[in-house]
Amino acid sequence: MKVFGLTGGIGTGKSAAAHLLRQRGVPVSDTDLLARQIVEPGQPALREIQNAFGKELVGADGQLLREALARRVFSDTTARRKLENILHPRIRELWLKQIETWQSEHLPLAVVVIPLLFETNAEAQFDATVCVACSAATQHRRLLERGWTPGQIEQRLAAQWPMEKKMARADYVVWTEAGLEVLAGQLDRILKL
């Protein structure tokens, strides 16, 4: 089985790439989705977050107040690292278990989407890495379209490696400026679909 690690910056097209891969029958594990699962009500990670950052970060319905937590951790590097120490080991454990399951099923190919793939030193777990990238202007426009403020964009980008560094480290780079058909074609060539 060949396992690819797919990464990229915020707003560069990781979700679009994952969607296209799933449409083609490629098994995909998205660590952003895993991160949401591990902070559901009753999960140990949610309790740890409450203990580390305060009970006010959990709503009356028991759900994590993600935006409030984001405001806190993206404005404070120490707080962000504390959160990462709570979340990242749990997320890694889940995607590694998923890879084991895929291997036991003798699947030929699978992809794990990890925004902080290089930042968390995860590349050794993959046969190859793919960086999804676009211009800084396109990235900024996409994030503004999501309703983010320029300040939020700046904070989030500062928490990740610069796009150029991710691109240089990746085995493959997929450029997402030209639309879904072009993106699909690039992925097909890399993954030999």
pLDDT digits (tens, 9 = 90+) for 58-77: 999 999 999 999 999 998 99
111: left (phi over 0), alpha (psi -120 to 50) or beta: beta
Whether the CB-CB separation of 13 and 178 falls below 8 Å is answered with no
CATH class of 2-191: alpha beta
Band of the pLDDT at 192, cuts 50, 70, 90? confident
Band of the pLDDT at 135, cuts 50, 70, 90? very high
Strand positions, DSSP E, the chain: 2-8, 28-30, 109-113, 128-133, 172-175
